[in-house]
Amino acid sequence: MGFMAVTGFAVARLRNLFAVVMLTGIFSLTAAMLYVVLDAVDVAFTEAAVGAGISTVLLLSTLALTTSEEKTVNTGDSHWALALVVATGCVLVYGTLDMPPFGDPTAAIHNYVAPYYLEKSGAQTGIPNVVTSILASYRGYDTLGEVFVIFTASVGVLLIIGRPKFGRRRTHRFAAGELRDSMRQNVILRVVSKLLIPFIMVFALYVQWHGDFGPGGGFQAGVIFAAGYILYTLIFDVDTARMVVPAGATRLCLGLGVLLYAGVGVVSLLMGGDFLDYSVLADDPVKGQHLGILLIEFGVGLTVAAAMIAIFFTFARQER
C-alpha cells in the first residue's frame, strides 16, 4: 500500500504526462496485487487486464493526439481545497470506525448475505465459482446493465470522434520511405507476435469458458482477446489489421453481444419464467442455469472485446 501512496502522489505532482501514464500503469498493478492479497482473484484479473494494459494503451493513444506536457494551472489559493479534502477524509475514516473489523465473523455481511450465496450457489446453479454465479445469475440484471454501459461508452466514443472530417480523402499507399515509419519492418517483433497471438486468442477463449471453475469469465476474456488483436494492430499497422477483420465486424459484434445477453432474458420470458431467469431454459433447472450463464458470459465477452477494439481503433486512426 505504501507503493500505491508513493505512486499516487507522484502521479499528481509530475507534469510530464508520459511519465504519469507509466505511473498509472504501476498504480494499477499495485492495486491488482492488493486484490490478490485480499483473495479476490477475479477482481485482480480484471484490474490487471484493464487497468494495467488497456488503459495504458488508450491513454497513450490520447497522448498521441494531444500535448505531452500538462499545462500549469493557476489555481490560486488552494488551501481551502486541501482542508476540505482532509476534512472529508477524516469524516469517512470516522464512519468506518463503526464498521466491524475486517474479516470479523460476526459481521452482518458474513452472517446473512454471503453464507446464503455460498451455500445455495452450488446446488442451484451447478457451477463452482461463486463469483461467476453471483455475477451472472443472482445479479444478472446488474451485469446486463454493465454490459450496456460498456456498449454505450463505445458508441459514445464512436459518435464523437469516429468519423474523419468530411471531404478528406487520402489515397496514397505506403511509399518507400514511409515503411520505415512502422513497426512492421522489425523482424523480431513480427515473428514473435505472429507466434504469440494464436496463443493469446486461445488463452482468451480458455478464460472465457473456464470462468465457471476458476477466475475468469466474459469481461476478462474480452479484454484479453482485444489485447491480442491490439498487439497485431500495433505491429502491423491499422491497414493490415483492418484487412484481417473487415470493417463493420466490430460494430456488429458490439451490438451482438448485448443482443445475446438481453435475448437470453427475453427467451426466458417467453418460456414462462421471469426475465433472465435461466431455470426455464432447459428441462433441469440447474442445467438451465448453467446454459444461461454460459450464453450471457459469451455475450459479455463479445461486447467487451468489440468495445475495446473499437475504442482503440478510433483513437489510433486519428491524425494529430
Partner 1 sequence: MALLLDIVGWSLLALGSVMLLIGGIGLVRLPEVFSRMHAAGIIDTLGAGAILAGLMIEAGLTLVTVKLALIVIFILFTSPTATHALARAALHGGVRLPQDRPGAPEDELPGPGEQSSKT
Partner 2 sequence: MIAAVTVAVLVTMALAIFRSIKGPTVYDRILAVNAFGTLTVVLISVYGFLNGRPDFLDLALVYALINFIGTIAVSKYVEFSHMGRPTGGDELGDV
- Residue 277 corresponds to which cell in the numbers above? 431467469
- Identify residues 143-172 at the interface with partner 2 (CB under 8 A): 158, 162, 164, 168-172
Is residue 72 packed enough to be buried (19+ CB in 10 Å), middle (13-18) or exposed (0-12)?
exposed
Which one, 58 or 281, has the nearer CB to partner 2?
58
Single-letter amino acid code for the residue at 46: T
- Residue 298 corresponds to which cell in the numbers above? 459469451
- Residue 278 half-sphere exposure toward CB, CA atoms < 13 A: 25
Q: How many CB atoms lie within 10 A of CB 316?
A: 19
- Identify residues 180-219 at the interface with partner 2 (CB under 8 A): 181-183, 189, 193, 200, 203, 207, 210, 214-216
Residue 185 contact partner, candidates partner 2, partner 1, none, CB within 5 to 8 A by sort of partner:
partner 1
DSSP 16: B
Say how far apart CA 241 and CA 83 lie, in whole Å: 51
Q: Is 10 a residue that touches partner 2 (CB under 8 A)? A: yes
- Identify residues 220-249 at the interface with partner 2 (CB under 8 A): 220, 224, 227, 230-231, 233-239, 241-242, 247-248
Which one, 85 or 244, has the nearer CB to partner 2?
244
Measured at the alpha carbon of residue 272, what is the angle toward residues 270 and 274, in degrees to the nearest 5?
90
Q: Is 267 a residue that touches partner 2 (CB under 8 A)? A: no
CB 107 within 8 A of CB 268: no
Residue 188 contact partner, candidates partner 1, partner 2, none, CB within 5 to 8 A by sort of partner:
partner 1
Residue 161 contact partner, candidates partner 1, partner 2, none, CB within 5 to 8 A by sort of partner:
none
Q: Would you tell me which residues interact with partner 1 (CB under 8 A)?
A: 176-177, 179-180, 183, 185-186, 188-189, 192, 195-196
Residue 36 contact partner, candidates partner 2, partner 1, none, CB within 5 to 8 A by sort of partner:
partner 2
